[in-house]
Amino acid sequence: MQLSKKFKYMRQVSSRPCEVLGNILLYKLMFFLLFLLMYLFTLLGNLLIMTTIWSEHSLHTPMYLFLCALSISEIFYTFAIIPRMLADLLTTLHSIAFLACASQMFFSFTFGFTHSFLLTVMGYDRYVAICHPLRYNVLMSPRGCACLVAWSWVGGSFMGTVVTTAIFNLTFCGPNEIHHFTCHVPPLLKLACGENVLEVAKGVEIVCITALLGCFLLILLSYAFIVVTILKIPSAEGRHKAFSTCASHLTVVVVHYGFASVIYLKPKGPKSLEGDTLMGITYTVLTPFLSPIIFSLRNKELKNAMKKIFLSKLYPEKI
């Protein structure tokens, strides 16, 4: 079974003048270049973060171990979606095999939820570091950190398996045109038929929203305790230093869950697919693009380590 993957406006271009078709091709080329540059920057940014963490011994701490794992999940997440999207922008035949579509959904949900679970783990790490500093080395031991990272990946794989199995056990009939740039749940449900489609849709929605809200509430709870502890610090310098260790993580959480809430929590209407496609592009391309920028610019230790490594390569005699 072949699933045709097209942007919705492309169904209406066949009767338009050549000038309009040329403009559409120009826009597609512009979007291709823009998304390609953002994708390359995302890859390079995350690889730079990983290289810096592994090269600088002072960054071999739980917080940066989690950040390295987060960069890995982000690389895999974007790799599961963006290369195919870029290829579709350059071709006129936008099709994807049934099995490839299922694989894309599995990996996108797996790495997407792994990302959410790792952000939750990073919030817990900041909670332990600020609220229980004397027990930090015990609670965040190397074995414990490895288990938290492993369970994040296991949880992401479980979510990917549940969602993909539920969707692709449905019966697909009628037109096979997906009005989205990727194999996403809502446009695929539009192609499904049978008595259990509504139940599956509600079940998938409940599972996804429960997982995302659960992670978000745990992060909020961690930061509630963090704020209370920081307010008890007598000096303004101490309060600023404590909060600065959380600034980059908190910013990424706001960006990540801000876009995710728009996608999963906004009301679904019969004409909402265009908006879902737009928000999907934003969530898939822009959020991973911003993440390495935020961590690189707002994390002082990481920024200094990057400068040190680059200076040692460019001017080894000065180091």
The least confident of 14-23, 38-47, 145-154, 303-312 is 14-23
Work out the average pLDDT over 223-242.
86
Distance CA 296, CA 48 (A): 9
What is the per-residue pLDDT for 274? 54
* Position 185 pLDDT exceeds 80: yes
Is 55 among the domain residues?
no
Structural domain harbouring 277: 62-306
d(CA 71, CA 48): 10
* Mean pLDDT, rounded, of the chain: 81
Q: What is the pLDDT of residues 69-108, one digit of tens each?
A: 999 999 999 999 998 888 888 877 777 888 888 899 999 9
3-7, 102-106, 168-172: the lowest-pLDDT one = 3-7
Residue 21 domain-assigned (yes or no): no
Question: 74 with 115: CB under 8 angstroms?
Answer: yes
- Tell me, yes or no, whether 1 lies in a domain: no
Q: Residue 312 domain-assigned?
A: no
Instruction: Please indicate, yes or no, if residue 234 is contained in any of the structural domains.
Output: yes
d(C-alpha 124, C-alpha 144), whole Å: 12
Instruction: Quote the CA–CA distance of 228 and 216 in Å, as a whole number.
Output: 18
Cα(187)–Cα(40) distance, rounded to whole angstroms?
Answer: 28
CATH of residue 244's domain is: 1.20.1070.10
What would the mean pLDDT of 156-163 be, rounded to a whole number?
A: 95
- Look at residue 53 and tell me if it is in a domain: no
Average pLDDT of the residues in 258-275: 60
Residue 252, judged by CB atoms within 10 A of its CB (0-12, 13-18, 19+), counts as: buried
Q: Output the pTM of the full model.
A: 0.85
pLDDT on residue 113: 93
CA atoms within 13 A on the CB side of 145: 21
Which pLDDT belongs to residue 8? 37
- The answer to whether residue 313 sits within a structural domain is no
Top-confidence residue, 277 or 293: 293
Domain count, the chain: 1
Cα distances from 178 to residues 109, 185, 236, 305, in angstroms, run 18, 10, 55, 45
At 4 the three-state DSSP class reads strand
Token pair for 242? 């404590």
Average of per-residue pLDDT across 246-270: 73
Element (H, E) at 71: helix 62-90
In a domain, 57, yes or no: no
- Name the CA radius of gyration of the chain, rounded: 22
